[in-house]
Structure 1
């Protein structure tokens, strides 16, 4: 991607983030996502907090928590609350039916917990993330290390091509101390069925198919804000 394309994409992400944070109300507990688009939203929330907005938040990753705290956003322990009022996160892919692939940044388990707890789960994206069918982006799978080979084999039985995620030629570990398998299933005809099949695999902690978890997607395209819900 060229610099001009990247700048254009970032402008769309920022516009979508600004539209999303307008939905946050005084007194809300806010779920904060992880990734480049979520970062724009967190920075916008930080500005509002500095201007007097009274919120508390839960974070879907260590890096999100550190960013939020640096901006003066009070962070609660995710394990000590049962619901959040609104969450704002990004996506790697989404369809108009609000099926998503998430987890390219490696925070899918916590992101899925936050989305599940959220009364109003908002996804913010640029136009490049909208697809007719999920699957051009691989499905991240967070797996407990001792179950790695078993889960890998089960993914293969579901006609997926798995690859262990690495960084700098070393195994990539999530904030939870787990491995990630990036699974290529090709274009996915029935995301819900695949999600159900993956959910049945012991040792698989979470996968990046987010089905029936999203209230709306706020997408910026050029100078237009488009909402899917």
Structure 2
């Protein structure tokens, strides 16, 4: 019955509940989809499809999820640039940990890092993350996501229209075709969850495909600010 189902879903598995493990598994799935949607080639075997496989690989003792082992490294299908994704389970992520992640990426020649955290970044660490992109050594673009924001893939929600990031060349073609300036387009904030998902920068453009009962489908464009 429903009570037994609920009991099974919340009962502890050697210290961690099924729900706790399933939650992080879903986060990992979303991260893989996010990287792929950005054009990165993610190895199929990186993320286990089944929960029992995830538990075997990343929760071997049952007491804790070994997030460090969930690290992802992949390359972009067009530019061949590398992307690192690090998972951190600390209650508070300190600056030294972020420095270690950035250095690891630099050692491999990667310029983009996604950090997925269970805890929060303290204020000094947040400021340090912002300075990485302006570094004189080797600039690193680091995005930080909290696990809570990745349990569900926002782009798959039925109320969210399809967002397609455009390259600079594609955006230029759109502006020329409609005799527009970028500043004339409706805006979407860089901190918007959809813009965050695709790693959009200010000055870039989205093509948005919306469904309509009368028109079938219509297209709009937005600038990232």
Same-fold status (TM-score > 0.5): no
Give the TM-score of the pair, scaled to structure 2. 0.32
Select the structure with the greater relative contact order (CA < 8 A; seq sep ≥ 6): 1
